[in-house]
Amino acid sequence: KCRHNHLHTQGEGVRTFPQPILVTRPLLPPIPAITRRMEDIWGAQWLTNMGKQHGILEAALTQHLRVPHLSLLCNGTIALLVAGKVLDMQGEVITTPFTFAATPHAVNWTGAEPVFADIDPVTLTLDPKAVEAAITPRTTTILAVHVFGMPCDVHALAHLAAKHNLRLLYDGAHAFGLEVEHTGIGNFGDITAYSFHATKLFHTAEGGALACGSAEMHTRIERCKNFNILSEETVGGVGINGKLNELQAAVGLAVLEIMDDERERRARIAAIYREVLGQVPGVTVQPVLPQVTRESLQYFSIRIHEQEYGLSRNALHAELKKHNVLTRKYFYPLCSTFECYKKLPSSRPENLPVATRVAAECMALPFYGALPDEDATTIASMIRDMPR
């Protein structure tokens, strides 16, 4: 058996990787970078509740993401819940169906009702026109997602929020490091939620954060994530345990040290995918939008237009799987089709024509720094040359 992941060629054009290539692998810092910090944690006998590693990481990320205020949380979903709580997210919340389950779940879990609006066919983020059409007297919040690191139309959404007196919450789970017009993405809207899950470029195994512009909001977030404890004898309101522990923070600090190299590797893989797939009829590669001045490099998505390409996205996904390339159909099925949301009036496919089409066309390609250039070239060539 071959030790390396060399290709096995089995006759005409059929090439198979000996081991499965997954859509992503976590970025793993060298073990000594972790153990060094573990010794520090053991020495301090301080494992959680805003310890030293937590403080160092929070300061480092505030700077890295170029945001005014940042709070670490235990994962991206709890980050969204805490944001929903401090924004008093009630009534109807307009959001996108083209996202991970966590987005509408966070709305439901805070006691509000998700209202799905359609997406833009290029950025795949909420279409501001569809958002405006969905506003009712019960609407309190817009929850928009920078899906695959493609920024929402932040100016149009800010305008809508101001005009209709709505809160604007961003799910930035895919948008770590993203900058628009030289501004960290966490500067837009009232609050931006990040995920630091193991599958993200920057991660703490499990983790997340909330960025916001207002010091007062920041204080509310800090209290809410720690049971809303104000002092040993005072609890100021309803809170939750949303804390990131010292071990997670240590992982984050070690990951941060190797982030630049990882970003370089991913930029190279994205360039390979774009070069090989850019001109293939029926394949649209994820665009870099003109307003983006720093990419997030967390996901690489393509869209397959069946008529022009000659195979459906589903068929291509299945073919690649046969050859050990495990792409993912993010985000299919749409959240609006989930059992818990499908009866909502806004979930009707007629209300979501673009999202419905995109969910059938889109797929995420393997994208992580440890993927060798040759493998990225092979994967892209397989998509280009797939018999059809």
Please count the CA atoms within 13 angstroms of the CA of 278 that sit on its side-chain side. Answer: 9
Number of residues located near ligand T4K, criterion CB under 6 A: 21
Whichever of 100 and 309 has its CB closer to ligand T4K, that residue is 100
26 binds ligand T4K (CB under 6 A): yes
Site string for ligand T4K, 360-379 (x = CB under 6 A): --------------------
By Cβ distance, which residue is nearest to ligand T4K? Answer: 76
Give yes or no for a contact between 248 and 207, defined as CB atoms under 8 angstroms apart: yes
192 binds ligand T4K (CB under 6 A): no
CB of 228 to ligand T4K, least distance (A): 21
73 binds ligand T4K (CB under 6 A): no
The 3-state DSSP class for residue 258 equals: coil
CA–CA separation, 105 vs 350, rounded Å? Answer: 22
Which of 169, 73, 192 is closest to 112 using CA atoms? 169
B/e letters for 255-268, b = 16+ CB within 10 Å, e = fewer, are bbeebeebbebbee
Q: Where are the alpha helices (DSSP H) in the chain?
A: 31-44, 52-64, 76-86, 102-109, 128-134, 154-164, 215-224, 246-257, 259-277, 306-309, 313-322, 353-361, 373-385
Site string for ligand T4K, 103-122 (x = CB under 6 A): x-------------------
Give yes or no for a contact between 191 and 212, defined as CB atoms under 8 angstroms apart: yes
Which of 79, 372, 46 is closest to 204 using CA atoms? 79
197 binds ligand T4K (CB under 6 A): yes
CB of 45 to ligand T4K, least distance (A): 28
Calculate the dihedral angle through the C-alpha atoms of 94, 99, 100, 103, rounding to the nearest 10 degrees. Answer: -20
CB of 6 to ligand T4K, least distance (A): 21
Site string for ligand T4K, 154-183 (x = CB under 6 A): -----------------x-xx---------
Using CB under 6 A as the binding rule, the residues of this chain from 243 to 272 that contact ligand T4K are: none
Whichever of 118 and 171 has its CB closer to ligand T4K, that residue is 171
End-to-end CA distance of the chain: 31
Interface with ligand T4K (CB under 6 A), residue from 84, 189, 208, 369: 208
Residues that bind ligand T4K (CB under 6 A): 22-26, 75-77, 99-100, 102-103, 145, 171, 173-174, 195, 197-199, 208
